[in-house]
Structures are given as structure tokens and as C-alpha cells.
Amino acid sequence: MTPRRSIIPVFVPHLGCPHMCVFCNQRRVTGAPRPARPEDVTRALEDGLARLMPDAKPTLAFYGGSFTAIPVPEQEALLAAAKPYLDAGRIADIRLSTRPDAVDENILSMLQKYGVRTVELGVQSMDEEVLRLSERGHTAHEAERAAKTVKSAGFEVILQMMTGLPGDTREKSLATARSFIGLSPDGVRIYPTVILRDTPLYELWRAGSYREHTVEDAVDLCAELCDLFDGAGIPVIRVGLNPTDDLSGGDAAGGAYHPALGELVLGRRYLTRERALLTEADRGRAVAFAVPFGRVSAAVGQKRANIRALTAEFGVKCVKFRERDLPNLTVMRIIA
Ligand code: SF4
């Protein structure tokens, strides 16, 4: 996978999307009120480049919607607006996201012509029942075929999964992660389900037909999923929706929305490692851990959540942390 670069985002909410998944209201997720036009691409690039260092070579990313389900002339118009910037070396590459049932060889060769390097597939689940209840409109088999087709055409592939969808369980999410690992993507994004207003899921939740996937549910499960992907050498490039004023201001009516969800998940991953180093024999004792440089706040947890959990579970007198030159997510017991 190429090193992470600055991103210049262009949002294409619902543009081209032939579906209405129960959880989706792209306009609220992206905060963009209408689909992008070629002139929006040019403006985003000019504004974005003006904010970056002159030698920065950012990635242009088309997010939201289902890019490759847009009529081809419109796809080409958006990409053509970016092409001069790519040819002049002002941007490094282009990425876009789409649905698994909206890619085929013809589309992929057109994307290659315009310099698209990365295709993100919104798979969400590899469980047929979850896909059906979420009204995704595609099967797990189609998702698998799409991932393989995109990869064998030479693109970087990012797979997106969701947790807590209707009909989903912890086991099903873990099984989806294992299926993803079998497809060897270049990275994954994990989006725990957020209940957005003006969506069918909101109505199901209000009617008591859908059990909310809470922030706590999501933190616990995503910590395990991240460990699974890490163990397979697959980068998790995002956990949770990008916070926006609208989401924080009430559009996220319930579910696993937290502006710092990724940090909560990282804190939980440290807590798991800290727990594994304590026993009943530590009751009443002061304990200390060594953690990597820059990771004390994750190891302590948000609002000292990890320290409170260890104190409650093991009855330790106090918990101290020291920074050491250690690999990420390494925790060692040291003398207090
Ligand atoms: S396919 Fe994507 S953009 Fe379309 S409704 Fe579903 S989540 Fe929203």
C-alpha cells in the first residue's frame, strides 16, 4: 500500500446510487447538500492545493454515493476535471468508493484511463441475512467477485465493513472480517452503525424493531476486529464516521456515533493488553506498565477509563504508565 497522503475530498452523496440501504442518508453523512459537478472538483482541487505545501502531492478522493453507478459520461466529466492535475503532477492519484455490484472490467479500464489508483468497496457485511435486512441489494458473492476483479485489474482495494447492522451479531462481524482477510485487501474501514434521522433504520429503531448498536458495543467489537486485521497485516485506515457538525448536532439520533470513536477503540485495545498482565495476586498493589512513546493517553483510556476498569476488576491500589521505545500496542509489566 502506498504511504498515506493528504486527501482532497469531493463528496458525491447519493449520486448514481440505485439503492436506499436502511441505514443510509448520504447527505447527512457527508454534510454535502447536492451531488458534485466538474466545477466542484476543480474548486476542491484549487482550494485544497492552496492549503498544502507546494511540493505536497495529495490524493483526490471521491467519497459517498456509488461513483461507478453514475452514468458513464458523468463519471468521465468528474474524472476529466481532475486529469490535468494528475498529468501535471499536482496530485498523486485518485481514489473513489462504490458498490460491489457497480464494477466490471469496462468500468475499471475507464477508471484506469483517468489515473484512478484505489477503489473502495462498500461491502458492509459478508452475511447474506444482514445484507438482505439492510436492503443492500447485493450479495456476499458479488462483493467477493468485485474485490477479486478490482484487485486483479491492478487497483488498490479498500473494503468497508459495518458492525451492528440489522440481523448482525458479533460472530457475523468477525466472520465478515475473516472473509475480508481472505480477499487480501490493501486496507479496511470499519463503520459501526449510526442511526441517522430520515432513514428507514431510524423508523425501525423507533418502532422497537432494531436494537441499537451502542458506542460501548462498537468499541468492544472494533477493538477485536482491529486486532484481527492487524494480525493479518491489513491496515485499518478508519474506525467510525468522520465527525461533522450535523452528526454531532443531532442528526446521529442513536447508535455508535462518537466524534473520537477511533481513540476509544485504541484505548480498549490497550486495556485488553493491560488486563492480560494482571492477576488476582495484584489486589491492593501498585502496578506499572511500559507502553510505547506517545501512547500513554491511549493506555490510560479516555477519562481514565482503563485505570478505572483495572481498579474495579483487579482491586489494584494504583496504575502507573512509563513511556518506552516499544512497538505500537505493546504493553509490558514493569516494577512500580
Ligand atoms: S449503496 Fe451506499 S450510497 Fe447507496 S444507499 Fe447504500 S450506503 Fe447509501
pLDDT computed for residue 223 by the predictor: 98
What is the 20 CA–ligand 1 centroid distance (Å)? Answer: 6
Q: What domains can you pick out in the chain, each with its CATH number?
A: 7-259 (3.20.20.70), 271-334 (3.30.300)
Task: Please state the length of the chain.
Answer: 336
Phi, psi of 328 (to 5 degrees): -50, 140
Average of per-residue pLDDT across 177-197 = 97
Mutate to test the pocket of ligand 1, among 14, 15, 19, 62 (most ligand atoms within 8 A of CB): 19
What is the 227 CA–ligand 1 centroid distance (Å)? Answer: 27
Whether 45 shows a pLDDT value over 90: the answer reads yes
Question: What region, left, alpha or beta, does residue 17 occupy, with left being phi > 0 and alpha being psi -120 to 50 degrees?
Answer: beta
Q: How does pLDDT run across 280-309, given as a tens digit for each residue?
A: 999 999 999 999 999 999 999 999 999 999
pLDDT computed for residue 306 by the predictor: 98
Other Cβ atoms closer than 10 A to 313: 11
Whether 90 shows a pLDDT value over 60: the answer reads yes
What is the 2 CA–ligand 1 centroid distance (Å)? Answer: 27
* Ligand 1 atom nearest residue 17's Cα: 4
Name the residue with the closest Cα to ligand 1, atom 7. 24
pLDDT computed for residue 18 by the predictor: 72
Q: How does pLDDT run across 28-42, given as a tens digit for each residue?
A: 555 555 677 899 999
What is the 17 CA–ligand 1 centroid distance (Å)? Answer: 6
Asked if 160 and 124 count as a contact pair (C-beta separation under 8 A), the reply is yes
Q: Which long-range contacts (CB under 8 A, 24 or more apart) does 303-309 make?
A: 305/267, 305/271, 306/267, 306/270, 306/271, 306/274, 309/271, 309/275
Question: What region, left, alpha or beta, does residue 230 occupy, with left being phi > 0 and alpha being psi -120 to 50 degrees?
Answer: alpha
pTM, entire model: 0.93
- Lookup: cell for 319: 496504575
Asked if 165 and 124 count as a contact pair (C-beta separation under 8 A), the reply is yes
Task: State the chain's mean pLDDT as an integer.
Answer: 93
